[in-house]
Chains A and B, each alone.
Chain A
Amino acid sequence: MIFLKLFWSFFQVGMFSIGGGMAAIPLIENQVVNLHHWLTLTEFTGLITIAEMTPGPIAVNAATFVGIRIAGIPGAIIATVGCILPSCIIVSLLAWVYFKFKEITVIQGVLSCLRPAIVALIASAGLSIFTLAVWGEGGFSTNPQKINFVSVLLFTAAIFILRKWKPHPVYVMLGSGIIGGAIYLLI
């Protein structure tokens, strides 16, 4: 039963993460945190951090990470298969259409309207990670004592560095991990 749930959840992630890269993040959050409570928001953020720092697609990384925690190695394999099965089916269909009719205008039209939506969904998922970083598991609060100023500082520095020098994101995450970790251990 749990295998079926894992399979179906990651099948949906594979099916609806359109546009590559971070597009899978809101879908993974939806399935894993909101619908099935397999991970807490903190664990999910840890997963995204790890997935961003290791090679391979985020969705496959997430499928393995969640699958193995819920149902061991078989869980990891089943979740991964679920995640790539929609790709296998749709890519084949699309390739057939493409080589038969030599155009995918309608599909590209659909994508042009999906792109702004995907940006918004990634923003929404990013904002929940930001809220977690600044206010913790309790969520947004107007009480200034609840604000984690180390996180605010790290976020500001990180975004400044990213915008100004455009380094590889892995270095920014490692840097904020090392500097933040040192500060948390000292105070």
Chain B
Amino acid sequence: MEQKNNIYTKLFTSAFYISAFAFGGGYVIIPLMKKKLVDDLQWIEEDEMLNITAIAQSSPGAVAVNAAILLGYRVAGVSGAFVTILGTVLPPLITLSVISIFYTAFRNNTVVNAVLKGMQAGVAAVIADVVLNTGRNVLKQKDKVSSVIMVGAFIAAFFLKINVIYIILVCGYIGAVKTLILMEKIQKGSDS
């Protein structure tokens, strides 16, 4: 029993610590989790970590939360998953609660307002940078369907103001149909 409690405590503190100090979301958190759980604690095999990463990135939602669920479950079952979710979610919950209260209090302060206005240009640039990098990767694939989807989705969202959920559903559907057709072709190819 004591040993079990020990595992929960370790899971919680690992998840809490990683979540509290990892700036930059899931892509930073996964390597940190690997270091802690695979290299330091040796609770999980390297191969399994790769599988867990693949599933975490294929599922909707925050990659960090997805990875935390899988790792917690793998180490200590459902209660383990619960413990790691709590550890991952608590730091942003506390930080943002405090900031939200300060934001409401200082929203009308001239200095705070000026700095926030200055940051708007910065955050627009950061998003533009990500779009340029990922957009270039999409175009590099030289896949016509991908390029058409990218342009079509942009027009639908920005100019036609179509709800983004519908855009995601339609593109996911196209992806599923495309993959199934591709798989059928491969199967036919291997039959003949």
Contact = CB atoms under 8 A, between A and B. Distances in A.
Interface of A: 12, 14-22, 24-27, 30, 34, 45-46, 48-61, 64-65, 68-69, 73, 76-77, 80, 83-84, 86-88, 90-92, 94-95, 98-99, 104-130, 132-133, 150-152, 154-155, 158-159, 162-163, 168-170, 172-185
Nearest to A173: B122
Contacts of A184: 114, 117-118
A113 B103 contact: no
Contacts of A50: 96, 99, 103
Given A30-B164, A155-B121, 14 more contacts: A14-B61, A16-B165, A18-B168, A56-B22, A60-B89, A88-B69, A88-B85, A90-B59, A95-B73, A104-B55, A114-B171, A117-B171, A177-B118, A181-B115
Contacts of B150: 116-117, 119-120
A162 B129 contact: yes
Contacts of A169: 24, 126, 129
Contact of B146 (A20, A27, A58, A115): A115
Contact of A105 (B97, B174, B183): B183
B168 A55 contact: no
A161 B183 CA distance: 44
In the complex, the 3 A-B pairs of residues with the closest C-beta atoms, listed nearest first:
A180-B118, A109-B179, A56-B92
B20 interface: yes
Interface in B11-70: 19-27, 51, 54-66, 69-70
Interface in B138-192: 138, 145-147, 149-154, 157-158, 161, 163-165, 167-168, 171-172, 174-176, 178-180, 182-183
Contacts of B110: 185
A61 B138 CA distance: 28
B124 interface: yes
A109 B89 CA distance: 30
A21 B26 contact: yes
Contact of B95 (A56, A106, A124): A56
A106 B180 contact: yes
Contacts of A109: 175-176, 178-180, 182
